[in-house]
């Protein structure tokens, strides 16, 4: 009988974790993990802060006066360190005031959307996730249709109606692209398939930002 209760408990716990993962509910396992790993939290290299901010937001040469107003609609929550990457998620050390639907980016590109926040560890839905989607909460109402452009080793974002360009290596994922937190990342008109470049680099440090 005790064995059956134990198995039933594990089954219910597993189901709850799956449901919680989908609907952003409290996760006991993630909270326990954050407590256990707190003592191993690495120090942030603050020297990279300005470099990250400039590369992500302020130094993109394709930003011009017509769309520069997007740059002023961004709150920078802070810089933090990535703990680990998986196919669906990556995990970062929680920054104070981080909230679900915040945007996470590195100096190369947009990386994901914050999905669950615990006191120590934050789970982010990875851009390469099969179920990746940008929620309406981070989408502006007056966005233009935009797409990707790649020059040499860098990826930029550019209005589709103003430029024709060749697509390089790409991967397909579900969901839609728009303009979260002032970073132009494009939109696909059928709202189901998104093309993103495979050469987005994983980095140790990322910036958490939020659309005002």
- Beta-carbon count within 10 A of 125 CB: 24
Q: 2-138+199-211 architecture in CATH?
A: Beta Barrel (2.40)
Residue 191 backbone class (left: φ over 0; alpha: ψ -120 to 50; beta: rest) = left
18-22: Cβ within 8 A, 24+ apart: 20/116, 21/116
138 closest CA partner among 68, 56, 211: 211
Question: What does the domain layout of the chain look like in residue ranges?
Answer: 2-138+199-211
* pLDDT string in tens for the chain (212-residue length): 566 766 776 677 667 666 665 555 556 665 555 544 444 444 444 455 556 555 555 544 333 334 444 444 567 788 888 988 888 889 999 998 898 888 888 766 678 888 889 888 999 988 777 666 554 444 333 444 344 433 333 334 444 444 333 343 444 444 444 333 334 444 333 333 445 544 567 788 888 887 66
């Amino acid at each position: 009988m005790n064995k059956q209760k134990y198995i039933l408990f594990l089954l219910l716990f597993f189901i709850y974790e799956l449901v919680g993962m989908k609907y952003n509910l409290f996760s006991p396992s993630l909270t326990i993990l954050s407590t256990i790993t707190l003592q191993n939290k690495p120090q942030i290299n603050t020297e990279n802060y300005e470099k990250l901010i400039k590369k992500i937001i302020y130094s993109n040469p394709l930003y011009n006066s017509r769309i520069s107003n997007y740059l002023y609609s961004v709150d920078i929550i802070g810089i933090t360190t990535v703990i680990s990457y998986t196919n669906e998620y990556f995990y970062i050390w929680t920054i104070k005031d981080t909230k679900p639907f915040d945007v996470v980016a590195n100096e190369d590109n947009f990386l994901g959307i914050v999905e669950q926040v615990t006191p120590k560890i934050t789970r982010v839905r990875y851009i390469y996730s099969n179920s990746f989607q940008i929620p309406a909460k981070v989408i502006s109402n007056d966005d233009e249709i935009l797409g990707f452009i790649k020059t040499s080793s860098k990826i930029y974002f550019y209005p589709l109606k103003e430029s024709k360009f060749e697509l390089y290596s790409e991967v397909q994922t579900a969901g839609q692209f728009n303009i979260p937190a002032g970073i132009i990342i494009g939109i696909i008109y059928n709202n189901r398939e998104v093309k993103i470049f495979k050469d987005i680099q994983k980095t140790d440090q990322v910036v958490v930002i939020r659309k005002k």
